[in-house]
Structure 1
């Protein structure tokens, strides 16, 4: 015996609410990303947030004063890159559960994923939707 139209719609609405709440949790987690990396000899400390945005740069010791400008610049740049990579990895981890199976979240963040691969040529419909639309395989 099939379920009534009302029950099917209620079921779809419940699924939608679950997905919406999961999306809100993911967004919250992304906003909370904060990754701090400290260079060797504690010359510089860099904090990156979601999207690789640098939110803080500190020089925790006076070690930077004894460095040549090119050496300090290299330390700052490599620490920034490492903090951004760490933040991207956390973001990928947060988003991964909501991606289709087989999609590498890390590659998605670096732009190495074919975006068309995220959608199938035909939409995936659950049984309730198929019943409402009278679609049969």
Structure 2
């Protein structure tokens, strides 16, 4: 026996209200979210907001003074790419479940979210390219200096 249309509509409306409330909670959670990331060479630290925007930039331990312009730019770009990737993952973790099909209302099949279209290069940074697009020679200038970090008594993060 099929469920009456009124019951199906009531379930769908309840599900919709539940999803709307969950979206509001997710938006509130992400409103103050940020990712703070250091470059691999530990020369810069950046803070990135939930929309991928750069909200903070620090040059650490005067290391930037011994870097040429290309190296410093590469450190900033690498850290920003990693910060954007971290925020993209967090946004996907928060909103991903809200796009899933309804378990209560089969007619609500969920939403197919194109995360690549939304986050673009931020996701390519996460995949190992660190925001690298073909021909970006600035990133070739990054050099890790793990001995320097150890001699100052700091652990790697």
Determine if the TM-score, normalized by the shorter chain, exceeds 0.5. yes
- DSSP-derived class of the 2:60 partner: coil
Number of residue-to-residue matches in the alignment: 110
User: More deviation in 64-73 or 98-107?
Assistant: 98-107
Root mean square deviation of aligned Cα = 2.7
Alignment of 1:107 with 2:116, yes or no, is: yes
Residue aligning to 2:80:
80
CA radius of gyration, larger in? 1
Please give the alpha-carbon distance, in whole angstroms, between the structure 1 residues aligned to 2:83 and 2:10.
45
Instruction: Give the TM-score taking structure 1 as reference length.
Output: 0.65
Equivalences for residues 20-59 of structure 1 within 5 A? 20-59=20-59
Please give the alpha-carbon distance, in whole angstroms, between the structure 2 residues aligned to 1:109 and 1:34.
18
Gaps of at least 5 residues in structure 1 are 112-137
| Higher helix proportion | 1
Instruction: Give the TM-score taking structure 2 as reference length.
Output: 0.58
* Structure 1 ranges of 4+ moved more than 4 A: 7-13
- DSSP-derived class of the 1:51 partner: coil
Residue aligning to 2:17:
17
Gaps of at least 5 residues in structure 2 are 101-109, 121-157
* Partners of 1:41 and 1:63 within 8 A in 2: no
